[in-house]
Amino acid sequence: MTTAAPVSAPRNEDGPAGTPTLLEHLVGDTDAFFRDHWANQPVVFRAPSDLTGLITEREMWDEVECGMLSRPYFTAFNEGVRTAISDMTTKRNVVGHELPGYVREEQIRRDFEAGGTFKFNQAEHWHPRIRALVKGMEPRFQGGLESFVFLSPPGKTAMQAHYDGAHVFVLQVAGVKDWTFGRIHPGSTSDSVLHDGMIADDQRVEATLRPGDVLYMPHGTPHFATAREGNSIHIAITVEEPTAENLASILLASFMGGTAFAEIERDHHLRSLDERVESVRKALLDHLAEADERSVRDAAVKLRREHR
């Protein structure tokens, strides 16, 4: 376990003093984090700030009882099986219109009492303290950030071993949760898929997270978790870097918006097919050779953030 150096956190919106708002409030020395851990191997930190003020179980149930929470901002599942949307949602009359997708409190409570996990999706869109933390972390990364809040009863493994298509920070807010994860190796995948079989013993790591602990898992880390003592709340903050498709989209869009492509289009119809292929190929290669890597990267990051 790596223990972070103490860092004081400012007062967060609607939260107690010490609630985290920056990456250093989770991992301490950020230079050391990026040098030693980022995109390397999973690691557990003891946060130098108070994670318990980020969100409470009472707040989560208040959102359910209020009835205004709507899809896609929540879901419920048990051992990897999601509750049917038709069961966990209901219609509400809003300004004279019957709108679907609102949370059905009685179904969520039944699922939770049966051992299911209740989950907030993209909490940074509407929860002030989580939004402040995600926005405070965002400048440190080249990608899009999202947050998810998991409320799980003890004794249940919500999902079997799986990969997330992103880097993940797990913030233990309440309760105790046992995590099992694998080390990064040449066969690791960066897709959001189930892990095939058991995590091999020589790659397997086990850690127990208590309130105030932070687990960082690089892109491609297989993992699963089981709540142990009390109802567990953890927040997962994901960092999705630009994909190959994002980068290709930026490069192709800039090429097609340039003067070289416009010149090709002017007499494209007068050329033979082979000549058309060659003119586009040559112009595209010239464009790629001259492309500014920083501009392409920044545009791809912006695209990722806008479409996450």
Report DSSP letters for 85-139, one per residue.
Answer: HHHHEEEEEETTEEEEEEE-HHHHHHHHHTT-EEEEESGGGT-HHHHHHHHHHGG
Q: Are residues 249 and 223 in the same domain?
A: no
Domain identity same for 205 and 130:
yes
Residues 191 and 261 in one domain: no
Domain that residue 144 falls in: 1-241
For residues 89 and 105, give the distance between their C-alpha atoms in angstroms, rounded to a whole number: 8
Judge whether 215 and 44 are in contact, CB under 8 Å.
yes
Strands 213-217 and 43-46: antiparallel
- Which pTM was predicted? 0.82
pLDDT by position in tens, the chain (length 308): 433 333 434 445 555 667 999 999 999 999 999 999 999 999 999 999 999 999 999 999 999 999 999 999 999 999 888 999 999 999 998 888 899 999 999 999 999 999 999 999 999 999 999 999 999 999 999 888 999 999 999 987 777 778 888 999 999 999 999 999 998 877 666 665 556 567 888 888 999 999 999 999 998 898 889 999 899 999 999 998 887 888 899 999 998 999 999 999 998 888 999 999 999 999 999 999 998 888 888 888 777 766 65
User: Do 52 and 67 fall within a single domain?
Assistant: yes
Q: How many domains is the chain partitioned into structurally? A: 2
DSSP state at residue 268 = G
- Asked whether the beta carbons of 114 and 78 are under 8 A apart, the reply is yes
Q: Directed axis angle between helix 244-256 and helix 273-290, to 10°?
A: 110
The predicted structure's pLDDT at residue 246: 83
Residue that finishes a domain, picked among 223, 241, 259: 241
Distance separating alpha carbons of residues 24 and 285, to the nearest angstrom: 42
pLDDT at 60: 97
My answer on whether 157 and 234 are in the same domain is: yes
Q: Are 10 and 97 in a shared domain? A: yes
Hunting for tokens 């699922």 — which residue is that? 111
Measured distance CA(116)–CA(174) in Å, rounded: 17
Residue 207 and residue 259 in one domain: no
Examine the domain organization and report whether 130 and 227 are in the same domain.
Answer: yes
The HSE-up count of residue 50 (CA atoms within 13 Å, CB side) is 12
Instruction: Please check whether residues 201 and 262 belong to one and the same domain.
Output: no
Domain boundary among 219, 241, 263: 241
- Domain check: are 86 and 188 in the same one? yes
Q: Residue type for 160, please?
A: Q
List Cβ neighbours of 52 (8 Å cut-off, separation of 6 or more): 173, 174, 211, 212
In terms of domains, do 132 and 202 share one?
yes
Domain C-terminal end among 222, 241, 260: 241
* Cβ contact 157:226 at 8 Å: yes
228 and 298 part of one domain: no
Q: What is the CATH number of the domain that holds 21?
A: 2.60.120.650
Which pLDDT belongs to residue 176?
96
pLDDT at 234: 97
Please name the residues in contact with 192: beta carbons below 8 A apart, sequence gap of 6 or more: 162, 163, 164, 165, 166
Binning the chain into helix, strand and coil, the percentages to the nearest 5 are 35, 30, 35
Amino acid at 156: K
